[in-house]
Structure 1
Amino acid sequence: MDSTKRESSGHGHFQDAYEAARVLSGKWVFAVLVQLAEGPRYHNDLARSTGMAENKPLDRTLHRLVHTRMVDRTVHNVGGSAPRVRYRLTQRGYSVLPIIDELAGWWRATEMPEH
């Protein structure tokens, strides 16, 4: 189905929203994006600033964000020691920040009082 038919059917719009939600889902995605909004970070800095005690969940989150072109990964070889990996938001990553802010505002505005 071409993109015109897909959009007019509404199904494509739903599918696009579903894919966006799938990419942004995950316990640490928002935390990583918000930390990177402050500027590029090295892996260990991200682990500390997001409060992640284990590397595996952070690695999975970063892999997903790099794969979806929301985050850029650069390896810096430092003579004789292990390479340092730096992450930064891409234009696509920055473009999702207002959506995160909007979502947070929606949640605050519609939050139900505790019983």
Structure 2
Amino acid sequence: MAKANPARTCPVAAFQKMISGKYKLRIVWDLKDGPRRYGEIRSGLLRGTEGSAEITPRVLSRELKALTATGLIDRKDFGEVPPKVEYRLTRKGKSFVPVVAAIRDWGDRHLTEAAAFVDAAE
């Protein structure tokens, strides 16, 4: 008997697989306000991060390709030189924004509790 694929049988596992990655949720959140070019997305990801960690172009490209493959974002190439490419949320991606907003709201409410717990443990 073949083993069932958990991503097919469990919606939570499928969701987790779709949004796994360090930057996907933040990319979707940044695109909620409208289309962005690659450099704007990269700059948006660097805001609000601690330290000087920067996202590498390879990682950002991989995350954007994965989000495109899942149908959450759309890539529009204008066919110009120098290259001009925009990313925007699809209808499916727009329906995902309230989920990210709920995660953000939960973080706003509970982040100070978690930070206090981590500080106390150290």
* TM surpasses 0.5: yes
Please give the secondary structure, in 2, of the residue aligned with 1:83.
coil
Percentage of pairs with the same residue: 25
Please report the TM-score for the alignment, with normalisation by the length of structure 2: 0.73
Q: Which runs of 5+ in 1 are unaligned?
A: 1-10
Q: Counterpart of 2:85 in 1: which secondary structure?
A: strand
1:71 alignment partner, one of 65, 70, 73: 73
TM superposition shift of 1:109: 4.1
Structure 2 segments unaligned to the other structure (5+ residues): 1-7, 47-53
Tell whether 2:87 aligns with 1:87. yes
Equivalence for 1:8:
none
Which of 33, 41, 56 aligns to 2:28? It is 33
Per the alignment, residue 100 of structure 1 pairs with 100
Q: Secondary structure at the match of 1:86?
A: strand
Deviations 1:24-71 (A, max 9, x none): 121101111111111101111111221244211110110000000000
Distance 1:73 1:107, change over 3 A: same
How many residue pairs get aligned? The number is 101
Q: Residues 61-110 of structure 1: CA distance to partner in whole angstroms, max 9, x if unpaired? A: 100000000000010122xx232111000011111111112223334445
Question: 2-side partners of 1:89 and 1:75: how far apart?
Answer: 15
SS at match of 2:44: helix
Classify 1:106/1:49 alpha carbon distance in 2 versus 1 (closer, same or farther; 3 Å). closer
Please, what is the CA RMSD of the aligned residues?
A: 1.9
Whole-angstrom distance in 2 between the partners of 1:73 and 1:47: 15
Amino acid paired to 2:75? R
Partners of 1:37 and 1:50 in 2: CA distance: 14
TM-score, normalised relative to structure 1: 0.77
Task: Indicate the SS of the match to 1:73.
Answer: strand
The 3-state SS of whatever aligns with 1:38 is coil
Give matches, 1:34-73, under 5 Å: 34-51=29-46, 52-73=54-75
